Amino acid sequence: MTSSDIPVIAIDGPTASGKGTVAQRVAKTLGFHYLDSGALYRLVALSALRRNTPLSDEDALADLAGKLPCTFDGEKILLAEEDVSNALRAEEVGNAASRIAALPTVRQALSELQLRFRKLPGLVADGRDMGTVIFPQADLKVFLTASVAARAQRRYKQLIEKGFSANMHDLLKDLAERDARDVNRAVAPLKPAEDAYLLDTSDMTADQAVEQVLQWYAALKK
């Protein structure tokens, strides 16, 4: 068996579209592994911010990305020995991640790391380019969207729950800026794969979205 025989479900979409929650639940239901690819960009961003590495220094950032001492332990993400799961969710880190993600050599350095998550019995991978670049042969590709207002609401709730302060006005501005950067970058821009199923979750609960993805997958496997 080669790695291309291991099933992959790719779930892409803009920031705060709910793809993380949906991807994790789909993975849990199917007993598959889960890759939060955004966390890798966030890990590089957090390391860079802590070392005062300029976000314009592509060589230094690619070097950081190539040597990330990270471990994914269930829901915990460790950088070296430190649990950084919460620190990674800060808006400052997300914004830096979105800037770093535009750098081709950083994307290249993280690409091999992402492919290593493809293990039996299968993988659910979420991000921006899972279906277009990293796993173009994925068995199922889903592109999740939601209105800016719905996404800002979700991000607000997520931040407050994690103990961060949040302001709706700033969040809406951040989301719009991040969308523009993710969609307009030259390398691996955020866009649905041609063969992706589109799912607008603005008026859906997470459970409904999970159910839809599971139905699509079951239909493909028939």
For binding to ligand DC (CB under 6 A), which residues are involved? 15, 37-38, 41-42, 94, 97-98, 101, 127-129, 178, 182
| Count of alpha carbons within 13 angstroms of residue 178, beta-carbon side | 27
- Smallest distance from the beta carbon of 1 to ligand DC, in angstroms? 26
Kindly give, in sequence order, each residue whose CB lies less than 8 Å from that of residue 94, ignoring residues fewer than 6 positions away. Answer: 15, 42, 45, 174, 178
Residue 198 bridge partners (DSSP): 143
> With respect to ligand DC, which residue has the nearer C-beta, 186 or 219?
186
- Smallest distance from the beta carbon of 167 to ligand DC, in angstroms? 18
> With respect to ligand DC, which residue has the nearer C-beta, 177 or 215?
177
> With respect to ligand DC, which residue has the nearer C-beta, 5 or 73?
73
DSSP label at residue 66? H
Task: Dig out the tokens for 151 from the structure.
Answer: 């996404």
- Smallest distance from the beta carbon of 81 to ligand DC, in angstroms? 22
- Smallest distance from the beta carbon of 80 to ligand DC, in angstroms? 20
> With respect to ligand DC, which residue has the nearer C-beta, 32 or 185?
185
Cα 173 to chain centroid, rounded = 20
Before 121, cis peptide (omega within 30)?
Answer: yes
DSSP label at residue 132? I
